[in-house]
Amino acid sequence: MDGPGQEAQGGESLLFLTDEQLRKGIEAMFFAYRAFTADPDRILEKYEYGRAHHRALHFINRQPGLTVSTLLAVLGVTKQSLNRVLRTLISDGLVEVRVGKRDKRERNLYLTERGKELERELSEAQRARMRAAYRAAGPAAVAGFRQVLEAMMDPELRRHYLALRDEEA
């Protein structure tokens, strides 16, 4: 049922590091990521937004009050690129900007009610797919899934990922 795997450490089963296995993993990432973004993309079209808007909404929702520069670091895009997106979200009333308390140069970002609504709609679609996949694969598989993805991240990105993780605890 499980194929090879249990005897991991043994040294014998390094079969999972085959070029073929690695290529399968690469393709799995490609196809899965396409599916992963497909549902929100369909919703975004209705509102004339794009994937970049979704990402901004997601992280502002996750970390209300985060600064522009933090968001820049998390998203890994340039200030100019983010600003285009942020400007439309703000003027459409989905994102609210407040001047920083300690440091008045900083801008803290928050979702408005409307922003939260859209975020919920988008992420619910994405979560539905995730939930189905998780349920189909089971908890052990899910743990492995997360382990591999984490190991794949650049250390700096992993820091951001883990930061989000900890805040909720």
Partner DNA sequence: GATTTTATGTCAGCGATGTTGACTTTCCAA
Partner DNA sequence: TTGGAAAGTCAACATCGCTGACATAAAATC
Binding residues vs DNA (CB under 7 A): 48-53, 55, 67-69, 72, 76-87, 97, 99-100, 102-107
> Which long-range contacts link 68-75 to residues 24+ away (Cβ below 8 Å)?
68/106, 68/107, 68/109, 69/106, 71/109, 73/160, 74/160
What does 144 interact with, of DNA, a second copy, none (CB < 5 to 8 A by kind)? a second copy
Residues engaged in binding a second copy (CB under 8 A)? 2-6, 8-9, 13, 15-17, 19-36, 38, 55, 58, 62, 76, 123, 126-127, 129-154, 157-158, 160-161, 164-165, 168
Whole-number Å distance between alpha carbons of 71 and 59: 7
Q: Which is nearer to a second copy, 24 or 79 (CB)?
A: 24
What does 150 interact with, of DNA, a second copy, none (CB < 5 to 8 A by kind)? a second copy
Taking the complex as a whole, how short is the minimal distance between the CB of residue 131 and DNA, in angstroms?
Answer: 24
| Phi, psi at 3, each rounded to 5° | 65, -155
CA torsion angle 159 165 167 169 (round to 10): -140
